[in-house]
Structure 1
Amino acid sequence: MTEGSLEKGIDTIKSHVKTAPTAAGVYRMLDRHGDVLYVGKAKSIKKRIVAYTQPKRLPNRLQRMVAATETMVFVTTRTEAEALLLEASLIKRFKPPFNVLLKDDKSFPYIMLREDHEWAQIAKHRGARKHKGQYYGPFASVSAVNRTLNTLQKIFQLRSCTDSTLETRTRACLLYQIKRCSGPCVGHVSKGEYNDMVSETRAFLEGRTSGIQKKLAAAMQEASDALEFEVAAIFRDRLNALTHIQSHQSMVNAMVDEADVIAAAEVGGQVGIQVFFFRAGQNWGHRAYFPKHDKTDTLPEVLGAFIGQFYDNKPAPKLVLLSHAVPEQELLMTALSDRMGRKVSLTVPERGKKADVVREAERNAKEALERRLAESASQARLLDGVAEKFGMAEPPKRIEVYDNSHIQGTNAVGGMIVAGPEGFMKNAYRKFNIKSEDVAPGDDFGMMKEVLERRFKRLLKEDADRERGHWPDVLLIDGGKGQLSSVMEILEDLGVSGVTVVAISKGPDRNAGREQFHIPGRESFMLAHTDPVLYYLQRLRDEAHRFAIGTHRSKRSGDIKKSPLDGVSGIGPKRKKALLHHFGSAKAVADADVRDLEGVEGISRAMAQHIYDHFHG
């Protein structure tokens, strides 16, 4: 940045100081596009932003931020703790480049124990909590949920099927045959026995297992004494499953019932964070994070920023064990406690079992970061190779790969995947439903034209000066010279230049490893079948193909689920159900005459005529 632009940024901040509130709150710095550069919180906003008008006290990174600042936005809060929570929420929402950013913060899976049905259901859950019941979690991964559900099915045998499956079954399913369900759908268990198993499941998920173990052992002995050896064997298997899961939790039982362990490690100026989830005296998995941060940020600063953002959309447990003390730790505890409505403790254990668990998490964080750095170094070498093969001045930072998918022109979709220095950028993937009526069924050229026009028209509208990092350095197209010339024509019509366009076509007999690459102004060429760059480009093409096909299948399955009755105005779920129950299928409804339609409960003479007219024109 030039000194002049820095002076302009300082003048901008000084003008906002005059009207800045003295209360606690959050401030945002915005650039000339209206994009958020930085989100900060303060006990007094006015006092805090004055510091940005003294450039000699600011590091180079913050000087660049000040120079790019065009305006500011202020939001006041009642307390500094509220400001801290709002700051974390806004950072996750706007992803400002000058903040520490928590990336890949996907929602966590839970186990749902439904209580709004006479036969309680246990199932994996993610998303909005629509059903009344208990939700246990979070689990670090779907595999951790599946392992726990598998154990629960062995021990307690609650149903996992949907309500519709439960209501329509006439004989027990396979889960009953392998003793993973008690068969409430066909009356193989009484309501009282089933409710007892529900209570035992709840106790298990809350960590109260000793009573369950004694009850199963007593039931096994009672069945054995009564010479009911098959029943005794069932209780024996359930007891074995419970003992097995308990034997794998010795480390946790010596610690606490409920806690998160958050440990950070630093390698080569990068920070990796490992989070372990302990609930009900059990280890419910762990997950690695690699926050985006500036090299001048210290490890405790990164860890503190991570904690605020991590608990922005998930409940905090009573105890959070940390590997390092973080700035404003007391304020962070107050903020989390206020949000949860109960005390949340953040502590750094120094000795004992808790310290051992934190050191284990810290070791995992370091190993995960080292693996990631090794992968990043390998990725950098591959991008260097891409630049060399394609005659680029520098390695690409963003590669976009396009593919189409359809069946005889139906449910046509286009897919775009993105890759960069850190691998696949899945949050940047895009799907395009082909909308143009001018595109003939199966016209791959026409579909590609629509996709690229929509993509680049939006880029030209939102980022014409290419400052936001959304423009691709390389466009990789699945096809040959025909597709390449078509793409070049589209880009030329849009006035787009400075993008390397490469078409990749399969070689003779469509053999992998004999692909040909087509670049404008060059003869087509092949890469050595042992070249790592070839493998990398194949992976990109295959990922685009996978994404496009997956999108197409989702769209097709949605269409398959649609009923012809959905297109009849005035037919809601209740009338639709009555018609299907009466006639057996939508086709039979379409073939029925007015008199037959009128005989269905809830269908008047006028509605029957309306339905008949809909299907008969």
Structure 2
Amino acid sequence: MRTGRGAILAALKTMPDSPGVYRMLDGHGDVLYVGKAKHLKRRVASYTRINQLQPRLMRMVAETRTMEIVTTASEAEALLLEANLIKRLRPRFNVLLRDDKSFPYILITGDHDFPQILKHRGARNRKGEYFGPFASAGAVNETLAVLEKAFLLRNCSDSVFESRSRPCLQYQIKRCSAPCCAYVDREGYGRLVAEARDFLRGRSAGVRQAMQDRMAEAANDLDFETAAVYRDRIKALARVTATQGINFQGLEDVDVVAIAEEGGQSCIQVFFFRGGQNYGNRAYFPANEAGSTAAEVLSAFLGQFYADKLPPREVVLDRAPDEADLVAQALSVRAGHKVRLTVPRRGDKLQAVTHAATNAREALGRKLAETSSQKRLLEGTRTVFGLERAPQRIEVYDNAHISGTHAVCGMIVAGPEGFDRRSYRSFTIRDIDPAKAGGDDYAMMREVMRRRFGRLARELDEAGGETDRVAGWPDLVLLDGGEGQLQTGTEELEAAGLTGRIMVAAIAKGPDRDAGRERFFLPGRAPFRLPERDPVLYFLQRLRDEAHRFAGGQHRAKRSRAIGTSALDEIPGIGPKRKKALLHHFGSAKAVEAASLTDIARVEGISTAVARQIYGFFHPEG
């Protein structure tokens, strides 16, 4: 504690008393905490009054060895910078927003005479109008499907649009008006696009009334075919409105946010309303919030949540966040327009925020139940494998290949929170020749274990031998296989100098690959089985199956990427035209490899010099 306090006092000697952001670093240069202040010197000086600090902050000060600061023009800018740094650096003493994946939007493009409607994620760098965010990709896909039926907008790429000579299947199933084949002119398609925009902006009643008027007009003119088209579009509109879930009157473009607390954990629910329609909700479970009030957690959440996305003009909350005026000011700077933080007392907004709070409490209850069950399973795993403590990180490895080709090894990670999909990794097998190995699983696993344990050994050395300072240190490594895979893992563990620090085990499928009769292999113990109805057995099976699923998916993706490529792609100077000529002449890349120099030179567009280059690529010894 004395050392940490001394480091802070040393930093205070040259620290300005202006707005800015400060970072506390440990002896290895890792960021412990990121904070913002209106007066840097006064805020940081509070950490030297040890007796007034919470236990969590006392531990932080004790580990602090150096400090870094960045000054800003205002406290609002400091808050925005703080949120960005927390999201990027993920300091372990900050309240952290977990699982903040990007949100999907619906995009109506603006860079083509006949705009395209599609799902969009990521940076908004394409010209057009974006609608959202939606809470999930499924919500976007379902909405897009009915929007295509209602407004008959194309979803094909520009290159496909330009190459069409007759309508595609989308036109046949009445989900496109076929502008590619001039079945609708630019003006008529523009009206469809305008209707779609109006609907997504919340003017659904006017759009539906206009369609009903046109349907009635067509029916009066005895044009029943046109009337049927409008009837189908009206039905699609009714369906997309119904799929928006619970809607509340008076909510146009707002986010509704509510927090629930129980058992030392928090859940924050966010509902998205755009154009008066409910675009879904998502639950968040902030980490490291121990000792923080709900208002502090909510303030930290809002800063990080909107660090990479534009806030709407109003955020409706179930309670005021800490430093509410400052948060609103910072969000306004981020959005480029005024953002209001509202805590409603009556009306539709209160009804909406009450609904969000109910969902937050229910989600937190489910989370606590799952966490309790997960803790029991991890404790059971500790008993089964004889670990000193319940494992906080389990890594499971499985190979996937076809006779050694496109070989990968998948690593999945599980812990107290369940599967940690952000930590999943795939290893491309590099050191084994598939043609010679023919699918040597032991050699593949040996390579992966050598790479993984070698990296852990290097990081442990940099951390001074303290495993707690190594990010992602596994308590248990589980290999899909039997005694051979176990021996491979233990040998590489020993070679890395990590014997005794990590438990390595193997799980082998039962006879005839019968689930429930798996055998487990541990160093120095005879193979054993668990009772068929043992919850720990189900848990370990689930881990093994998840590793198999992930490895298989990575292998299929690798194989798919290889389709359409051949050895001809690797020959310098052989572009698409020459490749096409060779394949047209010989039929396949293997036939080109088997051809003589004279045969290759006979191909149209292949000169004698190029033929020698191709022949030499396949026959370097000649």
TM bucket (normalised to shorter chain) is: over 0.9
CA distance in 1, matches of 2:250, 2:202: 13
| SS of match in other structure, 1:335 | helix
AA at the equivalent of 2:532: H
Equivalent residue for 1:78?
73
CA distance in 1, matches of 2:192, 2:579: 36
Equivalent residue for 2:440?
443
Equivalent residue for 1:385?
380
Equivalent residue for 1:197?
192
| SS of match in other structure, 1:467 | helix
Equivalent residue for 2:556?
553
- Matched-pair identity in %: 53
Q: Say if 1:310 and 1:231 are closer, same or farther in 2 by CA, change over 3 A.
A: same
Confirm whether residue 501 of structure 1 aligns to residue 504 of structure 2: yes
AA at the equivalent of 2:413: V
Name which of 35, 46, 50 aligns with 2:45: 50
CA distance in 2, matches of 1:336, 1:400: 40
CA distance in 1, matches of 2:483, 2:243: 59
| SS of match in other structure, 1:400 | strand
Q: Say if 1:195 and 1:589 are closer, same or farther in 2 by CA, change over 3 A.
A: farther
Q: Say if 1:409 and 1:61 are closer, same or farther in 2 by CA, change over 3 A.
A: same
Superposed, which structure 2 residues align to 1:53-452 within 5 Å? 53-246=48-241, 252=247, 254-437=249-432, 440-452=437-449
AA at the equivalent of 1:121: Q
| SS of match in other structure, 1:397 | coil
Equivalent residue for 1:466?
467
Return the offset for 1:300.
1.0
Q: Is the 1:24–1:45 Cα contact (8 Å) retained in structure 2?
A: yes
Return the offset for 1:561.
3.7
CA distance in 2, matches of 1:377, 1:276: 27
Return the offset for 1:520.
1.1
Q: Is the 2:507–2:519 Cα contact (8 Å) retained in structure 1?
A: yes
Equivalent residue for 1:531?
534
CA distance in 2, matches of 1:145, 1:216: 24
Equivalent residue for 1:457?
454
CA distance in 1, matches of 2:509, 2:307: 47
Q: Is the 1:166–1:185 Cα contact (8 Å) retained in structure 2?
A: yes
Q: Is the 1:318–1:344 Cα contact (8 Å) retained in structure 2?
A: yes
AA at the equivalent of 1:221: A
Q: Is the 1:103–1:290 Cα contact (8 Å) retained in structure 2?
A: yes
What stretches of structure 1 of length at least 5 have no aligned partner? 1-5, 599-606
Equivalent residue for 1:540?
543
Q: Is the 1:122–1:158 Cα contact (8 Å) retained in structure 2?
A: yes
Q: Is the 1:416–1:544 Cα contact (8 Å) retained in structure 2?
A: yes
Q: Say if 1:494 and 1:153 are closer, same or farther in 2 by CA, change over 3 A.
A: same
Return the offset for 1:165.
3.2
AA at the equivalent of 1:615: I
Equivalent residue for 1:603?
none
Q: Say if 1:177 and 1:385 are closer, same or farther in 2 by CA, change over 3 A.
A: same
Return the offset for 1:352.
0.7
| SS of match in other structure, 1:502 | strand
Return the offset for 1:581.
8.3
Q: Say if 1:397 and 1:525 are closer, same or farther in 2 by CA, change over 3 A.
A: same
Return the offset for 1:579.
6.0
| Range that drifts further, 132-141 or 83-92 | 132-141
Return the offset for 1:207.
1.6
| Range that drifts further, 195-204 or 97-106 | 195-204
Q: Say if 1:206 and 1:463 are closer, same or farther in 2 by CA, change over 3 A.
A: farther
| SS of match in other structure, 1:509 | helix
CA distance in 1, matches of 2:561, 2:544: 26
What do the CA deviations read for 1:307-364 (whole angstroms, capped 9, x no partner)?
0000001110000001110111111111111121110111111111101000000000
Q: Is the 2:585–2:603 Cα contact (8 Å) retained in structure 1?
A: no
What do the CA deviations read for 1:570-617 (whole angstroms, capped 9, x no partner)?
56xxx73x668889969679879678755xxxxxxxx96665444333
What do the CA deviations read for 1:484-513 (whole angstroms, capped 9, x no partner)?
112111111111122222111111111011
What do the CA deviations read for 1:385-436 (whole angstroms, capped 9, x no partner)?
1111112232111111011111111111111111001101111111111111
Name which of 476, 490, 493 aligns with 2:492: 490
CA distance in 2, matches of 1:172, 1:50: 71
CA distance in 1, matches of 2:602, 2:522: 67
- Paired residue total: 600
Equivalent residue for 2:477?
475
| Range that drifts further, 584-593 or 217-226 | 584-593
User: RMSD across aligned C-alpha pairs, in angstroms?
Assistant: 2.3
| SS of match in other structure, 2:468 | coil
Return the offset for 1:21.
2.1
CA distance in 1, matches of 2:125, 2:244: 32
CA distance in 2, matches of 1:231, 1:318: 41
CA distance in 2, matches of 1:318, 1:451: 50
Q: Say if 1:589 and 1:500 are closer, same or farther in 2 by CA, change over 3 A.
A: closer
Q: Say if 1:216 and 1:391 are closer, same or farther in 2 by CA, change over 3 A.
A: same
Confirm whether residue 26 of structure 1 aligns to residue 21 of structure 2: yes
CA distance in 2, matches of 1:142, 1:56: 49
CA distance in 2, matches of 1:319, 1:232: 41
AA at the equivalent of 2:26: D
Q: Say if 1:69 and 1:441 are closer, same or farther in 2 by CA, change over 3 A.
A: farther
Q: Say if 1:182 and 1:438 are closer, same or farther in 2 by CA, change over 3 A.
A: closer
Return the offset for 1:199.
1.5
| Range that drifts further, 533-542 or 193-202 | 193-202
AA at the equivalent of 1:395: A
AA at the equivalent of 2:614: F
Equivalent residue for 2:614?
615
| SS of match in other structure, 2:512 | helix
| Range that drifts further, 305-314 or 185-194 | 185-194
CA distance in 2, matches of 1:278, 1:580: 53
Equivalent residue for 2:9?
14
CA distance in 2, matches of 1:421, 1:268: 15
| Range that drifts further, 390-399 or 186-195 | 186-195
Q: Is the 1:568–1:611 Cα contact (8 Å) retained in structure 2?
A: no
Q: Is the 2:146–2:239 Cα contact (8 Å) retained in structure 1?
A: no
AA at the equivalent of 1:391: G
Q: Say if 1:426 and 1:297 are closer, same or farther in 2 by CA, change over 3 A.
A: same
| SS of match in other structure, 1:463 | helix
CA distance in 1, matches of 2:249, 2:123: 34
AA at the equivalent of 1:483: Q
| Range that drifts further, 182-191 or 402-411 | 182-191
Return the offset for 1:154.
1.5
Q: Say if 1:63 and 1:284 are closer, same or farther in 2 by CA, change over 3 A.
A: same
CA distance in 2, matches of 1:177, 1:552: 36
CA distance in 1, matches of 2:519, 2:148: 52
